[in-house]
Structure 1
Amino acid sequence: MSIFQRISFFVIAIVFLASCSSTSKINTLKPEPEDASPLIYDNKPSFISLPVALKIKDIENQTNKFLTGIIYEDNNIQDDDYTIKIWKQAPIIIENENGKIKTVLPLKVNVKYRIGTDKLGVALYTTQEFNFNGMITLMSSINLNNWKLKTKTEFKSMVWKESPSVKAFGKDVSITYLINPAIQLFKSKIEKAIDEAIEQSMDFKPNVLDALDKIATPSEMSPEYETWLRIVPTELYATEAQLKGQSIVMQMGLKCTIETLIGQQPAKIFDKNKIILKPVTKMPDNFTANIVAVSTYKDASKIITKNFEGQEFASGSRKVKVMNVALWHKNDKIVIALDLTGSLTGTIYLTGLPKYNETTKEIYFDKLDYAIDTKSSLIRTANWLASGVILKKMEESCRYSLQPNLEEGKKTMLSYLSNFSPMPGVFVNGKMGDINFTEVQLTNKAILAFLTVNGKVAIKVDGLE
């Protein structure tokens, strides 16, 4: 063989070997996604029962803080010959008596009384001033109206600690004789003062709305998976308040929607100004929460792309890597686009049905296969990749776990059930069961996993500041 023939043979061999190991390119027809209209889905509401126990001692403390100093004052001596000022002398005592609130109010009374006549334009008066102490007893019925604890108070009795008399114009005049008629005038003022003090000091609405607003702010459950929990309160319920022992008890309830969302922090869509307290006769003693886990195709694509990092799929000397993954919805199935590099470059398309694995808590794709045009193109250009063996290996990475979401979601929800204190003196405790899967639904923008959880919760008010 001549030197020219040897060189020619060598060049041909190199070209042949190079052609055998060179990269092939595939052109496949993209299954176009369906119309990307706004994401709309039916999120079943959750009902959370909230039994509430409010210590009467807290009502006593708050009422004493609100009701201080002068509680009644009449400075006009011309109309009835006396002026009167009444102070709260010592802390009010409030307790349960036969299903009603009994209020004992220690008073200090200052009275200026004039005695005399006004005849023929000549005024002949003498004025005496007295200070003495008494104890008023009032009884109140209770109810809850628009998150305010309201009472209807009735004056029951007044007991004077002393009953002095004074000599005026040669006569002994009993002070109680002068004061007792005035009680009919100021008792309604005392009743009103007690009712207003309890209503103002026991107005839970601002605190409840602030607590709901805090709960409704989306909280991040997992930075790695970019998952968020969003609770949207929609309605509040309450039964009649009742006295039991030294507490006021009532059954309250919250209607809300609960979502877990993947991606950027979602917007808070709760408007506390639109919440209305609805009266009901009875509430269940547990809660049922329906949770929807929303995975937009864009965000699910990011998670699955991470699954393929560092992996190679080989058949003999031929190897490919998946550089990027994109998902979308078409004809009730999910299209999975895989951008390949290596022995084959280009994009191949898989289709499958999303399913939920109860054991691994994963969304996976059942009946995963190459799209029709992709399969035809692979048979023509890269038959080695068309084999079910490599497809099966790829299928293992075409999934994402809800387990971290569920665990973080449960952890977040339990944080509201473990002595959670939305305000000083208010404590929320409870328990919840496992989060259970119900179904998967597809929309044109997201994969939805619907979950349920049951449990119990209770609120205790003890030690309000």
Structure 2
Amino acid sequence: MKIFSIPRIIKFSILMIFVLTIIILFSSRAAFKGIDIQPQLPEFTSAANTLQSERSESILNLPVKIPLANIQEALNLNISQTFLGTEADVTELLSNDKLTYEINRKDFSIGTQNNLITFSVPISGTAKIKGKIDLRFTKIPVSVKTNIAGTIFGDLFLGIDNEWNIQPNLNVSTNFTKAEVPIKNIGTISIRSLLQKQVDKVINKEKPKLIAELVKNLNLKAEVNKQWNNLHLSEQVNQDPSIWIKTEPQSVSFKEFDLTDGENVQSGIAIKMFVDTCICEEVSAINLKPLPNLTIQEQIIDKFLISLPVQVSLDELNNTLESKVRRKSLSIDENLKLIVNEINLSALGEKILVKVDFKTDKNNLFEGAKGVLYLWGKIFYETASNNLKVVELDYDVDTKNTLTSTADFLLKPVVLKQIEERLSFPLDKQLKLAQDEANEYIQKINLPSEIDANIEVKTIEVEKVVVTNNDIFLVLLADGNMSALLNLGE
């Protein structure tokens, strides 16, 4: 059998290829060993510290209470303490008769029933009747004075029209429990109905004046108009960065008066406002809108919603990164690991610059390589995890060019993926700080003093996160309570 042998020239070629491969391999390793990657720091010219504000709509709900004690005081001030009168020919039982009376009242007491303000007041006094009793054959002179007692009572309903006019409907009547005149040798003459008629006549004559006084003291339109004007607010709530909150009321709703708590006339005002939150040095002028007609609605609650920007501390994020990634490794493949010396975040313009200071692990192909990587990313809030993340990472142009020519192994997608996985930050601590900061902002809003409002943010939600003017901001939807006493009728 004939054995074919490999020609010497082929053997020599194979050997040369093998040797060349070894040389290239070791040359490559030598080339990468000790490489120092130092791309140029990305340049960024910061924009002016202005930001077009986004207009949002918020409802400011103000419960209103008018203490019944105020209405009780108005009744006591404006209904006469004493009723005096003289009437002639008041009864058919006497001729040439004349009734003189003096009735004094005590203080009114107030209550509620069926959404009406009810009131009553004891009355007492004296009545004198003078005349002649005609006994056909003779006329007997009569002049008798007697004590009388009873109660003035009634109810008051408060309504309001769409032009803010309070419309009280007042009903008053009198009931005498003691009003009899004794006539010697004859009996008694009842003057109850007579006195009731006369007192009711006097009260009804005074009722328009009383209603006018009540409306004057319960001048809701004047009070609300003053507060409406004062709710055109422009407040700088933070200096660095400069944050402004501007409010412009647009419409107002009113809840019908409710007396169910027995101590107050309760209602509520819901003011719909445009709220501009601006990270800027100054805001545009306020457009003063006159108080519009109101609409009536069934329910007003003591809650409000307002959007507020709260700055995220980059120092806190970088401190978190320090504990998470310092001296930790990133695995590119089984033969290559990067040791992270530091990852640092900066906000530039509307993006996040990520600086990664690294070196390669010992005992790998690229031992001793070190340097800095610059990457751009976007900020993102993940609702499900309540985490703030930097996403869509990519190398800065200069970093990418440097890596292409010196260390293209770092351009593998797995590098970006592993860096991105580490750029995730729980917001629990930040949100607690943000809630405190939001409360500070709100306390700086000078609400009308008459409202006597106590506002506190109870819960917050992240609407969005933005990077602007080299800072990161959480735009928060703040949900809180507002307790208020609108002091009317004093």
User: Which category describes the TM-score, using the shorter chain as reference length?
Assistant: 0.5 to 0.7
Structure 2 counterpart SS, 1:309: helix
Equivalent runs, 1:63-462 vs 2, <5 Å: 63-64=71-72, 67-68=75-76, 71-72=79-80, 88-96=105-113, 100-108=116-124, 132-144=148-160, 150=166, 152-163=168-179, 181=198, 184-189=201-206, 192-193=209-210, 196=213, 200=217, 234=249, 236-241=252-257, 252-255=269-272, 279-282=294-297, 292=307, 294=309, 296=311, 299-310=312-323, 311-312=325-326, 320-322=341-343, 325-330=345-350, 334-336=351-353, 338=355, 349-378=374-403, 391-404=416-429
Summarize the Cα distance change of 1:277–1:363 in structure 2 as closer, same or farther, 3 Å threshold.
Answer: farther
The Cα shift of 1:280 comes to 1.3
Aligned mate of 1:45, from 33, 38, 57: 57
AA matched with 2:377: G
Give the root-mean-square deviation of aligned CA atoms: 6.7
Kept in 2: contact 1:142–1:152 (CA 8 A) = yes
The AA in structure 1 aligned to 2:347 is L
Which residue type is aligned with residue 92 of structure 1? S
User: Structure 1: which amino acid aligns with 2:52?
Assistant: I
Give, in angstroms, the shift of residue 327 of structure 1.
Answer: 0.4
Residue in 1 that maps onto 2:30: none
- With over 3 angstroms needed to count, the CA separation of the structure-2 counterparts of 1:218 and 1:307, relative to structure 1, is farther
Equivalents in 2 of 1:259, 1:303: separation in Å? 28
Whole-Å separation in 2 of the counterparts to 1:436 and 1:191:
53
Distance 1:130 1:194 in 2: 33
Find the aligned partners of 1:438 and 1:368 in 2 and give their Cα distance.
23
The amino acid of 2:295's aligned partner reads V
Q: Deviations over 1:161-189 (max 9, x none)?
A: 4336699xxxx997986895575445443
Deviation at 1:351, TM superposition (A): 1.6
Relative distance call for 1:75 and 1:132 in structure 2 (3 A) is closer
User: Is the Cα contact below 8 Å between 1:60 and 1:92 reproduced in 2?
Assistant: no
The answer as to 2:36 corresponding to 1:32 is no
Q: 1:60 to 1:241 in 2, by over 3 A?
A: closer
Contact 1:133 1:162 in 2 (8 A): yes
Q: Any conservation in 1 of the 2:166–2:218 contact (CA below 8 Å)?
A: no
Residue 371 of structure 1 aligns with an amino acid whose one-letter code is: D
Q: Give 3-state SS (helix, strand or coil) of 1:40's partner.
A: coil
Alignment partner, residue 7 of structure 1: none
Contact persistence 1:165–1:175 (CA under 8 A): no
CA distance in 1, matches of 2:376, 2:176: 89
2: CA distance, partners of 1:456 / 1:22:
61
Q: 1:300–1:384: structure 2 CA closer, same or farther, 3 Å change rule?
A: farther
Contact kept, 8 Å, 1:151 with 1:195, in 2: the verdict is: no
Partner of 2:88: none
Contact 1:304 1:397 in 2 (8 A): no
Percent of matched pairs sharing the same residue = 16
Counting matched residue pairs gives 381
Which secondary structure does the structure 1 equivalent of 2:50 belong to?
A: coil
Deviates more, 1:130-139 or 1:440-449: 440-449
Contact 2:53 2:278 in 1 (8 A): no
Query: Which secondary structure state, in structure 2, belongs to the residue aligned with residue 44 of structure 1?
Result: strand
CA contact (8 A) 1:349 1:370 kept: yes
Please tell me the residue identity of whatever aligns with 1:307.
T
Decide whether the 8 Å contact of 1:440 with 1:449 is kept in 2: yes
TM-score, scaled to structure 2 = 0.51
Matches of 1:143 and 1:369, distance apart in 2: 66
Please report the TM-score for the alignment, with normalisation by the length of structure 1: 0.53
Inter-CA distance 363–393: structure 2 relative to 1 (3 Å threshold): same
Letter in 1 for 2:254: A
CA distance in 2, matches of 1:29, 1:166: 111
Q: How far apart, CA to CA, are the structure 2 residues paired with 1:406 and 1:257?
A: 25
Rate the CA distance shift 1:458–1:159 in 2: closer, same or farther, 3 A. Answer: same
CA contact (8 A) 2:99 2:127 kept: yes
Q: Which has the larger radius of gyration?
A: 2
Q: Any idea what the Cα deviations from partners look like across 1:255-282, whole Å, max 9, x if unmatched?
A: 35789999xxxx9xxx9x9995852144
Cα separation, partners in 2 of 1:320 and 1:74, compared to 1, 3 Å: same
Deviation at 1:372, TM superposition (A): 0.9
Contact kept? 2:156, 2:171, Cα under 8 Å:
no
